[in-house]
Amino acid sequence: MPSLTRDEALHRADLLSVTRMEVDLDLDRGAETFGSRTRIHLTASGTGATFIDCKPVTLHSATLDGEPLDIDGLIEGRLPLPVTTGEHVVEVEATMGFSHDGEGLHRATDPADGEDYVFSHLFLDAAPAVFACVDQPDIKAPYTVTVTAPAEWKVIGNGAATTSETGVWHLSETKPLSTYFVALCAGPYVSVLDEHDGIELGLWARASMAGQLEEHADEMLAVTRASFDYFHSIFGIRYPFDDYDQVFVPEFNAGAMENPGCVVLRDSYLFRGAVGRDELLTRANTISHEMAHMWFGDLVSPQWWDDLWLNESFAEYMAHRCLVEATDYSEAWIDSTMSRKSWGYSAERKPSTHPVAGSPAPDAKSALANFDGISYAKGAAVIRQLIEFIGDDAFLTGIRDYLTAHSFGNGTLADFLRAMEEASGRELDGWSRAWLETAGVDAVEVARMAGTVSRTAPGAYPADRPHVFDIATYDGGVETSRVDLTLEGSQAPVPGVDLEAPLVLPNAGDRTWATPVLDEQSLDSLRGQLPLLSDAQARAVIWVGLRDGVATARVDPRLLVDLGEAALVTEDNDSIFSRAGMHLTGRVIRVLLPDAEQPAARARMARVGEKVLAAAEPGSSRALHAARLVARTTDDVEGRLVPWSQGRDLPTGLEGDVDFRWILLGQLSRRGVIGAAEIDRALEEDRTMTGQLGALTARAAIPTVEAKGEAWADLTTNRERSNHELVAISAGFWGPEDLSLVEPYVERYFIEVPLMTQWLGEDALSRVAAMNYPSRFVNEGTLALSRACLAREDLQQGVRRQMVDAQSELEEALASRTAFPG
């Protein structure tokens, strides 16, 4: 189907405004389809031809002011609509299809009890698969929604829900919404209800997860209440919508979606086993992030998709700020460095890098491709630099003015900059061009002999970005000096810096968006200095800087393995330990090191895990992460993997943890120790959706020719598989110790995965394409196949983007192995 272009959107917005939407949905027609009736109240500014967006299974009727429209004219989701000046009502009746790929109106069956659950995910252009509409972000309207559902179901949406004796649910009329924010969740959901500051709060989940919901409700509600209080205090505008429901749904593609009054989150956040503090922090951050969207994105929405940063960058920044200032997660910025900024820096290294704002988005699908770590993490870092530039008081004043001026409407980069300029009295055009409108990340480096710090912009994206940051020095893990500075040119002196210290670290406080490049003396000192370093933020900056160093073939990946062995045994920050450990095992060892060196490096990480596990407080978050590291890396089948998988000799806190057991079963399956029969028995003991996914991963990992053939066929031809099931199969497929088992599928990947676009939505297929890229085959043959595939003109846009990015990582691996052959 064609993607709406910006020119088409501008033309349609000039011609039409929608004043009210009435949507009636009938979800009681079985598991495959549902009924959809829409009344669109609109006003035309003149006479002209335009179209309504509608993607039905069957279009039954359509009228304009009671007169039939030609339903045979519906082509590729567009129903022609001729209008004359004045007010009109368009009515459309259709049968729509439930999806299984996480887009539109998704329906999933819970294997624990056989119950079905429905949720909507209409971002970016999936709304027409649920109801007819004028689908673009700058055409907002109030919605009234009615839903017919099975008698035992609950219905949750943007407006407060009530039900009549006939079983029809009525959702109260909303404030003006963009189409992609309309939300509907339906099924036998269970809830925990509360109230705060006059706002009704609801937490919802599948019936089979009632215990987990109740267990985690107090923590999640505490974060919710704190976030409301904090955002009310700094935005100066009360929460602008109805009740505030957070619905944890199965098989959700993203982390969460900020539908006004009805936030949808993936239900894996309702942890069913042992959980680390960093995982609780991640969930708290997601809760606060989605609430920040009630103002940034929902109250004020982007006029077009090139300004998505006005949603995501601000929610990213505000959530971390809120956690640090209003909750006990004071380490949130450290977690941001390890998890979010590393993601953003990786996006900057890829050919698909783009500016934070003003990225070319000629159509909606192009904008979706830029929904990445730049829009989130870099945007948040740039906001921190803006605050350094104009001051926090001016920033908050500008925010309030921007939100007030555009409430229930749309905003643009120009609108935002105007508000900031008026609040601060500073001209921001040059600052915006450098920071928001130009791609690329600068590198900052201290020259000891010269006593200077330099800034190097990427050659492909030159810009004069002013940086406000700090430089700190360390000896024996103790800080010996710290200097704040503003670097406006390419170089500046650094008076007051202890340049004799073993370790000199630019951007030690991680206040700016820049890669710290360590001088040779500092790099050489890390084996001794990093294990002693008491500054957790500095440790995070070093790890992320090294991540960039190995990716660009400036740093030998063996150094990271050495540092993992030396420094992770003393690491007491969950985010650093878990993220650095995952990067070491999943990227550095698995891909960057030559194949022959990988077993020994994994064994070293297993010893780290064992040491930390032995020293950690039993049942602590640190012990949990250590046990997971052991499970991922150990070759001790009889002493660790088998007894742990059988529930024997488990570390404290992991007794009965079925998620941990599936990690172990996956490792045993990958080694050929267990097979399908053992996996089936484990699934019988864990008849849940998570158990089903664990079993799919374990089966795909079985190291036989027959099992790999079955898994590949299941992945690429089974049209009944959900989005999450496909990802689960992908997670197990490429992991055998004997790579010859999967080598035949390298070429098949480039042929068969793109064909899945015939039945799988773009968001879901993009994730499958990324998960399945044969990254372990670091050779010129894989690169040649990849380049040949990307030369095709028929690749789906999202798949192309994922392959381009994965190919760039393959090229990084080849460059690293060439630079550091061993």
Q: Which residues are catalytic?
A: 290
CA distance 451 to 493: 6
Residue ranges of the alpha helices (H) in 194-308? Answer: 210-235, 277-292
In the three-class reduction of DSSP (H, G, I as helix; E, B as strand; rest coil), residue 525 is classed as helix
Q: Name 94's bridge partners.
A: 36, 59
In the three-class reduction of DSSP (H, G, I as helix; E, B as strand; rest coil), residue 448 is classed as coil
CA distance 765 to 232: 39
CA distance 413 to 215: 42
In the three-class reduction of DSSP (H, G, I as helix; E, B as strand; rest coil), residue 168 is classed as strand
In the three-class reduction of DSSP (H, G, I as helix; E, B as strand; rest coil), residue 517 is classed as strand
CA distance 122 to 180: 5
Q: Could you say which DSSP state residue 513 is in?
A: S
Instruction: List Cβ neighbours of 811 (8 Å cut-off, separation of 6 or more).
Output: 783
Edge to edge, the sheet with strand 184-187 lists 104-109, 116-121, 184-187, 154-157
Give the angle subtended at the CA of 470 by the CAs of 481 and 413, to the nearest 5°: 170
Q: Name 146's bridge partners.
A: 24, 170
Residue 516 has which token pair?
Answer: 């710290």
319 touches 288 (CB < 8 A): yes
In the three-class reduction of DSSP (H, G, I as helix; E, B as strand; rest coil), residue 470 is classed as strand
CA distance 813 to 557: 10
CA distance 750 to 794: 12
Which of 651, 639, 608, 592 is closest to 814 using CA atoms? 592
Instruction: Give the phi and the psi of residue 617 in degrees, each rounded to 5.
Output: -60, 130
Which of 361, 126, 123 is closest to 254 using CA atoms? 123
Sign of CA dihedral 722, 724, 727, 733: negative
Going from the C-alpha of 146 to that of each of 22, 158, 162, 163, the distances in angstroms are 8, 12, 10, 9
Q: Could you say which DSSP state residue 331 is in?
A: T
Q: Could you say which DSSP state residue 66 is in?
A: T
Whether omega for the bond prior to residue 654 falls within 30 degrees of 0, making it cis, is: no
Q: Where are the beta strands (DSSP E) in 98-167?
A: 104-109, 116-121, 143-148, 154-157, 161-163
Q: Which residue has the tokens 């601000």?
A: 314
The torsion angle over the Cα atoms of residues 684, 688, 689 and 692, rounded to 10 degrees, is: -10
Q: Where are the beta strands (DSSP E) in 250-350?
A: 256-257, 262-266, 300-302
Which of 409, 342, 392 is closest to 13 using CA atoms? 409
Q: Which residue has the tokens 């998960």?
A: 771
In the three-class reduction of DSSP (H, G, I as helix; E, B as strand; rest coil), residue 143 is classed as strand
227 touches 288 (CB < 8 A): yes
In the three-class reduction of DSSP (H, G, I as helix; E, B as strand; rest coil), residue 726 is classed as helix
Instruction: List Cβ neighbours of 321 (8 Å cut-off, separation of 6 or more).
Output: none
Instruction: List Cβ neighbours of 78 (8 Å cut-off, separation of 6 or more).
Output: 2, 51, 52, 53, 54
In residues, how long is the chain? Answer: 822
